[in-house]
A and B are shown apart, each in its own frame.
Chain A
């Protein structure tokens, strides 16, 4: 029985195929086939198809499914793939032909001749007949070719009534079109530069489209061979091309991550032969990450397309003409000209300043010249609300409250207010004029620049409180004078008057900041009576209004960026509150805010300001409120981040072997904001753009209204554009073609460089209150990202956060305990992250706790590896010792103080001039020794004694490394991977260590490092040397969890040859032997990690994709 058992795989989606006339979708993910019901967004089952090759193509005819990839093909019955009881391993059905397969099509008379045509990379077509009986029998009927046997990069077979035309996309000589029956070359289409990556006929058979390395798309006339049009738009290679919508449009998908829809425009000439054609793309859809959309298919009847990326994601798209992400058809507008001309007050300098939306029943607009317009009766009627004669001021500031009635409060800069009350038909039923300063004597020169209202709209924590609050509305008045406080007054909504009760009037001093304090957003917790204010230059202030006099806490410059664009309470508990903070420049936080019960009001001045979030832990103790950042991230695209909301979404997890799929309710985070000239909604959890609108950019008055239900995100985006107001709605399609656009979430978009799994298991209850165990899995990639996900005990991996704080390609990532992770990257980046899995939040959260400052002004070194020692003081974790190694041969050792958030450099030295690859501490408590073991590109293993250089009290001097105690040449070239394991006391002195190294030279070496107790002398012996440990570079070694009395130590070794090997070290014999090896479809195999769930061991392998293995006991 195999010891290594593959249980799951995630990776590039290399082929996709809709099954016509059903809601089935077949997807080739590596060598596995996954079958979906796309309407329900459900994975039905998964099958293992080929033992080595990936599935590159899918052809379906009724009940016959042909899958191919590399030299392999497999013919299967569709029933076999849809019945729930089928066996999952179908590799026994695979056949191989002697050349790479480019395309497979069914003959036009398949019902009678049972023939398929196989086009191979040498421009040869093999005709194969299929006999479906108990078993599937394939027989070669013929082999045909034309006179040119050029090597093909791409190609397709167009089946015609009595023959077929082969469209061959060659590496060097353009496109060859030849007739299958006669072997005659019909056309050699030249005009593209470079290799041809795609060529396809339209349905009618009179035109073709093609693409090549030159990144253009060409339209050809089949009869004449004439190039009719060339379209430009992709910025990288195009991997998919097809006509759709009755041959009127073309769809393309590319390495540049976009799917584009092209219109074939025809400008009629004098006769059909002189028609002028052009190709323009009208749609640009981006829903993958990293690089490459590898696969695509079109469901022609439904006008649906599906894309599969290198990121392992599968995404559905509605491509009907009706659908248009920036469609103007679902958009209507009112211009000021149109409104004001009727009243003969049109002034071309007047523009719309602000507006109120009455729940889709109408709008109220204010203009720069002080006009007020009401649009009502289903937007059919509009009227001018005359200015009051005794008011010369412009009511440019507007607030709106919707309860049983609509109340609109308009404020002028001179503190005059006009309060309007409307009935449900938007007739004005009450009108009131007042000045808010008449009864506030202290501030006669209070100019009002802005007002904010707060009440109980958003918070539903306390019902009694809510009833009471409904009657009132708090309004905050802001003045530009830094000495003026913020005035908060309470408006009684019943009689539209302000309360004079001092209990209901607050004068809140502004924090003293260097730059003017300008409010950008507010948020209020009705339960706590905490008022949160965000401002320009990213200041955050909390006022506690439950106490009188109120108390306040301010944080200055909490993040880099221009301003806080939004604050948003997520949850409120007994003593804590979760707040989302959005920085306009694209950063968002989730913070836990608690009241400091030990806060001493008398010692601390009220106006205490804390600088940033950097030193939170230190300053928190002294402050009124304590903030703990739980999450920080940067948005995927540039532009402005304005806010977010959550949306319910099922969390599905499934594997290759298990037949039952688990479902758990979960939420997706939806971000919105502006990018260049458009507004967007982006699903941050699943990483795709939901909607965008070309509104012209962020400098305008705008409002977003979301009214999503369980099935879809719906809403309206309203905005002003010069003197018009535009209302654009989204998500209101009559009939949904699918439930959820993302069928498979995938992993990283580029090669995974390293991964690490938490030791601790967490519990999760599904709807049937069945407990499911999971661990935290963190992976880092060449695409500069770090992903945190859940690794479930059934082998399924679900990503949660896609962290974009790193700006360079990552090298290593490790859990250093249950709470902290470290990651290292190029550009001298070394980050400490904190991961928390709190009961109050539905998912684990990750925050970049600290960053090591680069040493050079222009950081260009890669931090290749690091190791850590945890430092405890009376069992409390107080800090870490890190040993970082660099690409310029530098070695640095730091002490990191967790509380002070401070890196203290202890040792700074270098090995030679070559790149150091690995870093590992060897700690011997008995002998009180600490060694640092490094390996490098020169193939040497080097051990330093760092015991003498460890941290001492009061020591400041940065030391050099003491002399190396050991330097041994092990490998011929770079040592890529290295692990150290203490040899058990049962089998030795207890002062012995196994060092296992894997190199670029294919070698795997077991060395034994020992320290003599009497003499203190160190020694190293090579115990096992396996020259051909793999047929290519050994990229990672992972140790399995060792039990104390186990004789054998197990390790997983990965190599670029895509073989996963399990080795065992016999501690008595000091010998390492191979136990099992299995092929993995994860290419660029580069990292691995082993973890344990209830005594069973699992291994996750990373590269281009991820695979999950169970390590069985061979007994």
Chain B
């Protein structure tokens, strides 16, 4: 799909470029906020898997961090480098590493976070079992850090894919938060499995102290947290152990009058018809060289 047809097919894509957002996903956070009023009283914020940075842009604007007198602090973490965003402290780091945790706490002067979000999604292979596993691992990694750094009563928002085991995740999160909601902003296509979990009012497990250490699997981390599934067993279990499955309430957010991401719009007349360049080019994929070679026609049989 060329830039032009994407402009037409996807109104949010075009709008994002017009309004200077680095990605259309900015609207998803804005619409989530419209529904849940996420930023009220929020000071310290962590944006996980932040690149290219559209959520950090939203956070920076909403918390007025560009103003140096603001007391709010935003930390954006990603493995990929990110171009700077005013009012946002970007760190290139691994979210599973204890050092990262220390660095964030350092920026917050030892205070805990009020709000943690993650818009991260791994590349999908198309093999559902593997994809679901990797997606679950990513969320659990974000949740690890969250349990170490989120203050009681705080909010956690993360992207999820409503595949076949999503009810397991809802059940696990239900043990850590008062309310777990599956939210779908209108800017997220209904044809996509993407949704967001909004976890409100963090209530740390009473007899469990989260501790992030090096070389520890998410299962080991949550071993004693009594979350339902993530248990290490001593023997191979017969059949499937009983796993609690819960369906989280679903809330669609964004006004019904807002744009529909599934609809095709004609570009308004009178407006410029040339297609806009993206605000920021996507980061180079690992297969960049293979693509170039293909373009040059040198991937041929010898």
What is the interface of chain A, defined by CB distance below 8 A to chain B?
12, 14, 51-54, 56, 69-70, 72-73, 91-92, 94-100, 121-122, 124, 128, 138-140, 147-149, 151, 153, 171-172, 192-195, 212-216, 232-235, 237, 255, 280-284, 291-292, 294, 310, 860-862, 886-889, 913-915, 937-939, 972-974, 976, 1000-1003, 1027-1028, 1030-1033, 1056-1059, 1079, 1083-1084, 1104
Contact A96-B249, Cβ < 8 Å, known A860-B8, A914-B263, A1083-B164: no
C-alpha spacing A91/B235, complex, angstroms: 19
Least Cβ distance of A102 to chain B in Å? Answer: 10
Do the beta carbons of A888 and B79 come within 8 Å of each other? no
Q: What is the CA–CA distance of A1001 and B184 in the complex, to the nearest angstrom? A: 8
Query: What are some 9 contacts across the A-B interface (CB < 8 A)?
Result: A51-B239, A73-B236, A235-B290, A294-B127, A887-B262, A915-B263, A972-B251, A1031-B166, A1033-B193
For B287, the chain A residues whose CB sits under 8 A away are 193-194, 213-215
Secondary structure at the B interface, as helix, strand, loop or mixed, is: loop
**Neighbouring A residues of B166 by C-beta, 8 Å:** 1031-1032, 1057
Are A121 and B133 within 8 A (Cβ)?
yes
Query: Does chain A have a CB within 8 A of B61?
Result: no
Q: Contacting B260 at CB < 8 Å: which of A94, A213, A237, A915? A: A915
A215-B287, A281-B301, A1033-B162 known; A98+B232 contact, CB < 8 A: yes
Quick check: A1083 and B128 within 8 Å, CB to CB?
yes
B256 at the interface (CB under 8 A from A): yes
Q: Which residues of A contact B252 (CB under 8 A)?
A: 939, 972-973, 1000-1001
Within the complex, which residue of A73, A98, A235 is in contact with B299, where a contact is CB–CB below 8 Å? A235
Knowing A52-B240, A973-B252, A1000-B190, the reply to whether A291 touches B235 (Cβ < 8 A) is no
Would you call the interface of chain A mostly helix, strand, loop, or mixed? Answer: loop
Tell whether, in the assembled complex, residue B260 and residue A1031 are in contact, meaning their CB atoms are under 8 Å apart. Answer: no
B263 — nearest CB in chain A belongs to which residue? A915
Within 8 A of A (CB), among B110-130: 123, 125-130
Residues of B within 8 A of A861 (CB): 264
Q: Given contacts A140-B236, A282-B301, are A212 and B162 in contact (CB under 8 A)?
A: no
Q: A56 contacts which chain B residues (CB < 8 A)? A: 127, 129-130
A913, B5: Cβ atoms under 8 Å? no
| Cα A255 to Cα B251 with chains together (Å) | 36
Q: Which chain B residues lie closer than 8 Å to A95 at the CB level?
A: 236-239
**Residues of B contacting A72 in the complex (Cβ-Cβ under 8 angstroms):** 240
Q: How distant is B165 from chain A, measured CB to nearest CB, in Å?
A: 9
Contact A69-B164, Cβ < 8 Å, known A280-B302, A938-B260, A1027-B249: no
Q: Which residues of B contact A12 (CB under 8 A)?
A: 127
Q: Determine the residue in chain B with the shortest Cβ distance to A192.
A: B286
The closest CB in chain A to the CB of B231 belongs to A98
B260 & A937 in contact (Cβ 8 Å cutoff)? yes
Report the minimum CB–CB distance from B144 to chain A (whole Å): 13
Nearest-neighbour CB distance to chain B for A715, whole angstroms, equals: 24
Counting chain A CB atoms within 10 Å of each CB, which of B130, B186, B216 scores highest? B130
Q: Digitize B236-272: 1 where CB-to-A-CB distance is under 8 Å, 0 elsewhere.
A: 1111110001010111100010011011111000000
Say if the beta carbon of B19 comes within 8 Å of chain A. no
Q: Does B234 contact A (CB under 8 A)?
A: yes
Asked if A149 contacts B215 (CB within 8 A), the reply is: yes
B264 A887 Cβ-Cβ under 8 A: yes
Q: Known contacts A98-B219, A939-B252, A972-B252; is A282 also within 8 Å of B302 by CB?
A: yes
Q: Is the CB of B137 within 8 A of A92?
A: no
User: A1056 touching B217 by the CB < 8 A rule?
Assistant: no
A360 to B73, CA, bound (A): 85
- B235 contacts A139, C-beta separation under 8 Å: yes
- B247–A1028 touching, CB < 8 Å: yes
Find the residue from B239, B245, B249, B251 having the highest chain A CB count within 10 A. Answer: B239
Q: Chain B nearest CB: distance from A125 CB in Å?
A: 14
**B233 beta carbon closer than 8 Å to chain A:** yes
Return B122 CB to nearest CB of chain A, in Å: 8
By the criterion of a CB under 8 Å from any partner CB, how many residues of chain B are at the interface?
66
Q: Determine if B289 is an interface residue (Cβ-Cβ < 8 Å).
A: yes
CB distance from A975 to the nearest CB of B (A): 9
Chain B residues with CB under 8 Å of A147's CB are 215
Q: Does B179 count as interface, using CB distance less than 8 angstroms?
A: no
Does the CB pair A235–B294 fall under 8 Å?
yes
B-side contacts of A972, CB under 8 Å: 184, 250-252
Contact between chains at A937 and B263 (CB < 8 Å): yes
Closest to A215 in B: B290
Kindly list chain A residues whose C-beta atoms are within 8 Å of the C-beta of B233. 97-98
User: Do residues B217 and A149 form an inter-chain contact, with CB atoms below 8 A?
Assistant: yes
> Nearest residue in B to A194 (C-beta to C-beta)?
B286
With beta carbons under 8 angstroms apart, the residue of B127, B264, B293 that contacts A860 is B264
Which of B125, B162, B219, B299 is close to A99, meaning CB atoms less than 8 Å apart? Answer: B219
For residue A231, give the distance in angstroms from its CB to the closest CB of chain B: 10
Asked if A888 contacts B167 (CB within 8 A), the reply is no
**CB of B84 within 8 Å of the partner chain:** no
Docked CA distance A1084–B126 (Å) = 10
**Cβ of B9 < 8 Å from any Cβ of A?**
yes
Smallest Cβ-Cβ distance to B235: which chain A residue: A140
Give CA–CA (A759, B99) in the complex, Å: 65
One of B127, B133, B240 near A96 (C-beta < 8 A): B240
* B262 pairs with A974, CB closer than 8 A: yes
The answer to whether the Cβ of B20 comes within 8 Å of any Cβ in the partner chain is: no
Contact check, A193 vs B294: say whether CB atoms are below 8 A apart.
no
* Residue of chain A at shortest CB distance from B141: A151
Residue of B137, B235, B256, B264 near A888 (CB, 8 A) is B264
- In the complex, chain B residues 52-105 whose Cβ is within 8 Å of any chain A Cβ: 79, 94
List chain A residues, Cβ under 8 A from B162.
1031-1033, 1056-1057
Task: Output the least CB separation between B159 and chain A (Å).
Answer: 15
Q: Which residues of A contact B247 (CB under 8 A)?
A: 1002, 1028, 1030-1031
User: Among the listed B134, B231, B263, which residue makes an inter-chain contact with A913, where contact means beta carbons less than 8 Å apart?
Assistant: B263
Contacts of B134 on A, CB cut-off 8 Å?
A: 151, 153, 171
Considering the complex, give the chain A residue whose CB is closest to the CB of B131: A1083
- Residues of chain B contacted by A1083 (CB below 8 angstroms): 128, 163-164
Contacts of B286 in A (CB 8 A): 192-195, 212-214
> In the complex, which residues of chain B have a beta carbon less than 8 angstroms from the beta carbon of A292?
126
- 10 closest pairs, A vs B, by CB? A194-B286, A974-B190, A215-B290, A914-B260, A972-B252, A193-B286, A1032-B162, A973-B252, A1028-B247, A915-B262
Contact (Cβ within 8 A) B167 A237: no
Partner of B190, one of A193, A281, A976: A976
* Contact yes or no, A889 B240, CB < 8 A: no
Q: Mark B156-181, 1 if CB is under 8 A from A, else 0.
A: 00000011101100100000000000
Within 8 A of A (CB), among B273-289: 285-287, 289
The chain B residue sitting closest to A858, CB to CB, is B5
Return the chain B residue nearest A235 by Cβ: B294
Task: Report the Cα distance A53→B165, complex, angstroms.
Answer: 11
Alpha-carbon distance A381/B233, docked complex (angstroms): 80
Please name all residues of chain A whose beta carbon is closer than 8 Å to the beta carbon of B163 when the two chains form the complex: 1032, 1056-1058, 1083
A residues near B298, Cβ cutoff 8 Å: 232
Tell me the complex Cα distance, A862–B262, Å.
Answer: 10
Q: Which residue of B lies closest to A216 (CB)?
A: B290
- By a CB distance below 8 angstroms, the chain B residues around A860 are 5, 8-9, 264
Would you call B167 and A914 a contact (CB within 8 A)?
A: no
| Min CB–CB distance A531 → chain B (angstroms) | 44
Instruction: Using A860-B9, A1031-B162, A1104-B128 as known contacts, list a sample of 5 further A-B pairs with CB atoms less than 8 Å apart, ordered by residue number in A.
Output: A213-B285, A255-B126, A887-B264, A888-B265, A1084-B128
Distance in Å: Cβ of B28 to nearest Cβ of chain A: 13
Q: Are B193's CB and A1056's CB within 8 A?
A: yes
Cα distance A10–B238 in the bound complex, in angstroms: 27
Verify B262–A122 contact, CB threshold 8 A: no
A915 to B216, CA, bound (A): 46
Contact between chains at A237 and B125 (CB < 8 Å): yes
* Whole-angstrom distance between the Cβ of B84 and the nearest chain A Cβ: 24
Smallest Cβ-Cβ distance to A969: which chain B residue:
B256
Q: Are A70 and B260 in contact (CB under 8 A)?
A: no
Instruction: Among B219, B264, B300, find the residue whose CB has the most chain A CB atoms closer than 10 A.
Output: B264
Q: Which residue of A lies closest to B125 (CB)?
A: A237
